[in-house]
Chains A and B, each alone.
Chain A
Amino acid sequence: MVNHHHTGIVLKLLLIPMVLVYFSSGYAAEEISNISVQRQAELQNLLIQDCGSCHGMTLKGGLGPALTTDALKNKSRKMIEVTIALGRPGTPMPPWNRILTKEEIHWIVNILYTGVRL
């Protein structure tokens, strides 16, 4: 990473997505240790099936907006986590913090940003 200071601006820009990928995949790997494999399967099912009821099973949107990696790329990860936890007043999006822990919401958001296995 230190070497980046010596590379040209163009190369730097090219590296940004790679760095993001690096961090996001590292992030996901970190979370796996906290949530059991069985719970991960449940969360994955929840995401595709139940979130999918409003956001579409391919996450391309429905009553709720699209949640594809493309749709999320310009949105802050923190904002998405807060939206899942607290819901969005004025819309049908309910607060999930009554059902999911902070870590579980974190894990789901990671999955969304790294691309869901459909």
Chain B
Amino acid sequence: MGSQSDFPIEQQSDAKEKSVAFQNEDTAHFVTFYFAEHFFGLPISEVVEINRSLEITPVPLAQPYVAGIVNLRGQIITAVNLARRIELAMNTESVDEFEYHNVILGRHNEPVSLLAERIGDVVEIPVSQIEPPPSLIEGMKVEYIKHVCKLPGQLLIILDGDSLQRPDTADTGEPDTSTSPAVN
């Protein structure tokens, strides 16, 4: 079913502990990926796993940013086209024709798959270098951006996982029992 993880990110506690330890030293870990020439990151704690392209079933009538639905080991989740979601201005017109990678978000709520063009490394960044986003970034919607970080040679745009996941529609409905994490 082609669902082998490229980078299985452990869900167990040791991953969490590590990041906590780093945070004490004032650094944070980010999963990074590319879309066109832009460099994006998400806090490692928000990313469940990364998958090479899962087969996407298109959903007619859905919002333009919804690329479709994918099967993640028996769980059906919505695939969100990052470029369309943040209304990324692209040089290439064929936003829908890439071989995508699925960045699965949603440790805490309904998981979604964020489609990225290329996966980067996990980077460790001193917290002091993380800045709030400027009020305007050309070519994308700032509401989905939580922070930015100036790295040598490029700007890391740290996305806001929650707002990426939040549906655009007015009626959000209750969270699905089957997809929300178990309350133990």
Pairing of A with B: no
Task: Mark A residues whose CB is within 8 Å of B.
Answer: none
Q: Which residues of B contact A (CB under 8 A)?
A: none
